[in-house]
Homo-oligomer: A and B are copies of this chain.
Amino acid sequence: MRFGIQILPREVILDTQGRAVEQILLANKMQISHCRVGRYVEVEVPFKNEAEALKEVQKMTEFVLVNPLIEVYKVSRLPEVNP
């Protein structure tokens, strides 16, 4: 079962990467109002039951992937890829 985890810095945190991207795009005459840069992780877990799988993915995410002080995350189920 595949899940995608989107991780972004909290709004109150100064997102230095996002500021850098904004500046370079504005300097190159592109139109941008706001930008935040975070991480995206795709995981595959060997579960049949969606609720169990989601619980395991959340446990993993909180264990190694996210720093809850400065980041927020969102987990979403992804369609299976046929081998």
Contacts and interface: CB of A to CB of B under 8 A. Distances in A.
Select the residue from A38, A39, A40, A59 with max chain B CB neighbours within 10 A: A40
Interface residues of A, number: 33
Contact of A43 (B34, B39, B45, B60): B34
Contacts of A7: 40
Instruction: State the oligomeric state as a number of copies.
Output: 2
Given A31-B56, A36-B42, 19 more contacts: A6-B6, A21-B41, A21-B64, A21-B65, A25-B64, A30-B60, A31-B46, A31-B47, A32-B44, A32-B45, A33-B46, A34-B43, A36-B41, A37-B41, A38-B39, A38-B40, A38-B41, A38-B42, A40-B40
